[in-house]
A and B are shown apart, each in its own frame.
Chain A
Amino acid sequence: MIQQLRAMHGSPILEEADRLMTVCNSCRYCEGLCAVFPAMEMRRAFSDGDLNFLANLCHACGACYTDCQFSPPHEFNVNVPKTLAALRAESWAACAWPRALSGLFVRNGVAISIIAALSVAAFIFGFAAFIDPQVLLGVHTGPGAFYTLMPHNAMAALFGAAFLYAIFALAMGLRAFWRGLGGPSGTLPDPPSLWQAIRDAGQLRYLDGGGGGCFNEDERPTDRRRIYHHLTFYGFLLCFASTCVATLYHYLLGREAPYAWWDLPVVLGTLGGIGLVIGTTGLFAEKSKRDAALIDANSTGMDAAFTLMLFLTGLTGLTLLVWRETSAMGPLLALHLGVVFALFITLPYGKFVHGLYRYAALVRYAREQRAMTK
């Protein structure tokens, strides 16, 4: 009866999300747990855009499932984390540019990432072997050693192109997402909201179950997922910073990689790589323990692909650092570059976008809250 009387949506998951938000809006016990429920309370009915907004605002802490008196086996069957996870994945696929690539990735994320990484590694390896087989298995040290494998300009062009493509595709996706939310166009450039969202995202404010910790395998709250996510996220940022500093060294100071272990790009990259390896391993471990009731089985492949590529980026980078002065440097560098390349080009089609869209949702939330208190 409830279903018949509500507005029709574009997909069964949107229908279910609408049903749940109607249940939750008449209860409101979870108001203090995160941003989703206060945002919900500002609405009496839910458009597709509203539901996609709420889905991306959800950090999947699981508290509302564990705390809910109506979660399964109750006949009201309220499972907000799982439904919003499925809706998030659906919203990402709908916003991906070009759209055709998203479906492909959702189904085969891990396979595509690995194949891309190995293909590029093989290409670089083969390219170098074709030019000069001695280069591959030789020992190279000192400035410019990496570029014996592949000239710096070729490397910069290849990765620059991949990076720019990723940026462009991500920007197109974000634009489609923001428009889909149907929010006022003036919201995104609102500095206080942008700053509030940076603070909320930077500390994963809404991944703490309202203060006690998030729920994963049972009703015991824990902060592990937040800690592992911090390691992964800040590890990723450090690696990115390392690449930026190295690029500046190269073009501004004329200093060529590899750099000494104490030099800034290596320190940043090493710390970042360690963060990535520990963080992603922890996230995998937590995911494997996670209560199946909380997991949207359809998007686990996509989640795993991104986490795996981050893990491999960190691992191959650290391995290269350790053995860069041996004859293994050639193959290891090819492998690392292949992984990084694959990470870049798959960014717009995988779990990476969760950060972008959740940030956008946090900006919108901050704006709505500010508008309400004014």
Chain B
Amino acid sequence: MVDLTRKYDVLVIGGGNAALCAAISAARDGASVLVLEAAPKFYRGGNTRHTRNMRCAHDAATDILTGPYTEEEFWEDLLRVTGGKTDEELARHMIRESKDILHWIVRQGVRWQPSLGGTLSLGRTNSFFLGGGRAMLNALYLTAEQLGVDVLYDAEVTDLEIADGMFLSATFKHRDGHATIKASTLVAAAGGFEANIEWLKTYWGEVADNFLIRGTPFNRGSVLKLLLDKGVLEIGDPTQCHAVAIDARAPKFDGGIITRHDSVVFGVVVNRDAQRFYDEGEDIWPKRYAIWGRLVAAQPGQIAYIIFDASSRNSFMPTLFPPIESDSIAGLAQKLTLDPLALEKTILDFNAAVRPGTFDHTILDDCRTEGLTPPKSHWARKLEKPPYYAYPVRPGITFTYLGTRVNKQARMLMKDGKPSANMFAAGEIMSGNVLGQGYAAGIGMTIGSVFGRIAGREAARNARN
């Protein structure tokens, strides 16, 4: 059993990819390590349990990657998705380290597989976990256990004792009460606050009640808040979160990847008033994927409906929830509790504005509307073949951008700009350093593994001195 009277070399708070990489790397460097995971064992791992791949630079094709992805290309992709909101030195350091992570993570028991069906666009850049994120976590936990790392579940940290930038102890929920543990160093890898609706409300107001959270209810950001309250320098826009359009019938928490919808291009999207509100044909995946959550969040009631017809029924991946179906637009409106006349007018106006073209959803094709506001600039086809279908969608919050400032050693910086004596951060809790906005598939896992490994190594070294 775990001895809470001892002083560990390294205390890791969190239980996902970054936390486990830190714990493993510290243990491999000879440190004694305790991991405090706020969730119960089944829900361990934060957002990692819903991930499926990691983006790493590599100079040549591998067994599972179809071609090279150079450091420079990775950097350019990062620069583009963040619109320049990134720390170049830190980001380039991460990208360089990601090359070795591709092999290091395999030595920790994680298995790769080629990109999954329907994700061919990632086959060159992203390595997929065999069995997905939970399989990856299971492998990391087994390795950590073999290295003698102690793990406590249901152990949410409620207080941190920090003096002059130096971590002393952590208090956490333990059994029916609380316990306090001392450690020479701290690695904070406890994620963001996306599941903390009250916190989200401070920026979004009451509309946050209508957000669905894609991960577990345990991503509450309590450690992030404690650190920022106790003098750690913050980074990233606190008001921003990554949101995609997910099925409105999804559970409030932890619906994961399978509730997402990417059928926007095949029809039109209307709000509660049966009105279109954005160009559904603006851009290709993944850019459109990343903007629709925010667009829906700005609509009344934070709900919208993707409307399409029989010609597109089998054009995209099968969905968890079946589309709502009717033989007429008015009938569909009734099922969706929309105004039938308003929806009929919206569809009629749209159909009248569609110009002839050659449909190809894999490129920016020439099917577009004319004289319609907002326009649909690509993939516009008349909706006229019954039955008609609809998916109700709401904003699905994936992660938040606010975090702790770190340097290249993953060491936290204090508000006075000085590096902390013994506190490190890895993963989503510091992702804002490299990912100030936007997202690129698999980059969250890169940040987690790279900075987790660095934080563990540096913490172990720190504890020895």
Q: B131: which of A23, A70, A75, A210 is its contact (CB, 8 Å)?
A: A210
CB distance from A23 to the nearest CB of B (A): 6
B320 lies within 8 A of A1 (CB)? no
B251 at the interface (CB under 8 A from A): yes
Q: B132: which of A22, A30, A219 is its contact (CB, 8 Å)?
A: A30
A102 at the interface (CB under 8 A from B): no
CA distance A206 to B329 in the complex (A): 47
B142 lies within 8 A of A6 (CB)? no
A1 lies within 8 A of B249 (CB)? yes
CB distance from A254 to the nearest CB of B (A): 58
CB-nearest residue of chain B to A24? B258
Which residues of B116-153 have CB atoms within 8 Å of chain A's CB atoms?
116-118, 128-135, 138, 141-142
A28 lies within 8 A of B322 (CB)? no
A185 at the interface (CB under 8 A from B): no
Stretch at the interface among B172-180, B311-319, B444-452: B311-319
Contacts of B251 in A (CB 8 A): 75
A69 lies within 8 A of B132 (CB)? yes
Which residues of B191-227 have CB atoms within 8 Å of chain A's CB atoms?
none
B358 at the interface (CB under 8 A from A): no
How many A-B pairs have beta carbons closer than 8 Å: the answer is 89
Contacts of A33 in B (CB 8 A): 130-131
CA distance A53 to B23 in the complex (A): 43
CA distance A225 to B301 in the complex (A): 54
Chain A 15-43 interface 0/1 with B at a Cβ cutoff of 8 Å (1 = within): 00000001101111111110000100100
A5 at the interface (CB under 8 A from B): yes
Given contacts A28-B118, A67-B138, A210-B113, contact A23 B258 (CB under 8 A): yes
B42 lies within 8 A of A32 (CB)? no
CA distance A44 to B315 in the complex (A): 11
CA distance A23 to B258 in the complex (A): 7
Contacts of B49 in A (CB 8 A): 69
A66 lies within 8 A of B320 (CB)? no
Most A CB within 10 A of own CB, among B50, B130, B254: B130
Which residues of A209-236 have CB atoms within 8 Å of chain B's CB atoms?
209-212, 219-220
Sampled A-B contacts (14; CB under 8 Å) = A2-B322, A5-B322, A27-B132, A29-B116, A29-B135, A32-B128, A32-B130, A64-B131, A67-B138, A69-B132, A73-B42, A75-B251, A210-B113, A220-B142
Contacts of A38 in B (CB 8 A): 117
Contacts of A171 in B (CB 8 A): none
CA distance A157 to B118 in the complex (A): 59
Q: B321: which of A2, A31, A75 is its contact (CB, 8 Å)?
A: A2
CB-nearest residue of chain A to B254? A74
Given contacts A22-B318, A29-B131, contact A211 B111 (CB under 8 A): yes
CB distance from A352 to the nearest CB of B (A): 31
CB-nearest residue of chain A to B119? A28
CB distance from B290 to the nearest CB of A (A): 19
B318 lies within 8 A of A63 (CB)? no
Q: Which 10 A-B pairs have the closest CB atoms?
A: A29-B132, A67-B131, A32-B113, A67-B135, A26-B258, A26-B320, A5-B322, A69-B49, A27-B258, A219-B138
A68 at the interface (CB under 8 A from B): yes
B117 lies within 8 A of A31 (CB)? yes
**Chain B residues near A (Cβ < 8 Å):** 42, 49-50, 52, 111, 113-114, 116-118, 128-135, 138, 141-142, 249, 251, 254, 256-258, 314, 317-322
CB-nearest residue of chain B to A29? B132
**Interface residues contributed by chain A, number (CB under 8 Å):** 34
Prevailing SS type, chain B contact patch? loop
CA distance A260 to B8 in the complex (A): 68
CB-nearest residue of chain A to B42? A73
CB-nearest residue of chain A to B52? A29
CB-nearest residue of chain A to B324? A5
CA distance A23 to B132 in the complex (A): 15
CB-nearest residue of chain A to B145? A220
CA distance A25 to B113 in the complex (A): 18
CA distance A220 to B321 in the complex (A): 33
A67 lies within 8 A of B314 (CB)? no
Contacts of B50 in A (CB 8 A): 69
CB-nearest residue of chain B to A212? B111
CB-nearest residue of chain A to B128? A32
Most A CB within 10 A of own CB, among B114, B117, B128, B314: B117
Chain A 54-79 interface 0/1 with B at a Cβ cutoff of 8 Å (1 = within): 00000000011011111001110000
Contacts of B322 in A (CB 8 A): 2, 5-6
B133 lies within 8 A of A69 (CB)? yes
Contacts A25-B318, A67-B135 supplied; 6 other A-B pairs, CB < 8 Å: A1-B249, A28-B117, A29-B131, A41-B117, A63-B135, A66-B138
CB-nearest residue of chain B to A40? B318
B138 lies within 8 A of A44 (CB)? no
CA distance A73 to B251 in the complex (A): 14
CA distance A220 to B141 in the complex (A): 10
Contacts of B42 in A (CB 8 A): 73-74
A31 lies within 8 A of B113 (CB)? yes
A28 lies within 8 A of B138 (CB)? no
Q: A69: which of B128, B256, B320 is its contact (CB, 8 Å)?
A: B256
CB-nearest residue of chain B to A63? B131
CA distance A211 to B131 in the complex (A): 11
CB distance from B62 to the nearest CB of A (A): 15
Contacts of B257 in A (CB 8 A): 27
Contacts of B117 in A (CB 8 A): 28, 31, 38, 41
CA distance A220 to B212 in the complex (A): 33
A32 lies within 8 A of B131 (CB)? yes
CB-nearest residue of chain A to B253? A75
Contacts of B135 in A (CB 8 A): 29, 63, 66-67
CA distance A101 to B111 in the complex (A): 46
CB distance from B63 to the nearest CB of A (A): 12
Contacts of B116 in A (CB 8 A): 28-29, 31-32
CA distance A106 to B114 in the complex (A): 41
CB distance from A293 to the nearest CB of B (A): 11
Contacts of B258 in A (CB 8 A): 23, 26-27, 70
Given contacts A6-B322, A26-B318, A212-B111, contact A70 B256 (CB under 8 A): yes
Most B CB within 10 A of own CB, among A30, A31, A33, A38: A31
CB distance from A35 to the nearest CB of B (A): 14
CB-nearest residue of chain A to B41? A219
A44 lies within 8 A of B318 (CB)? yes
CA distance A32 to B249 in the complex (A): 29
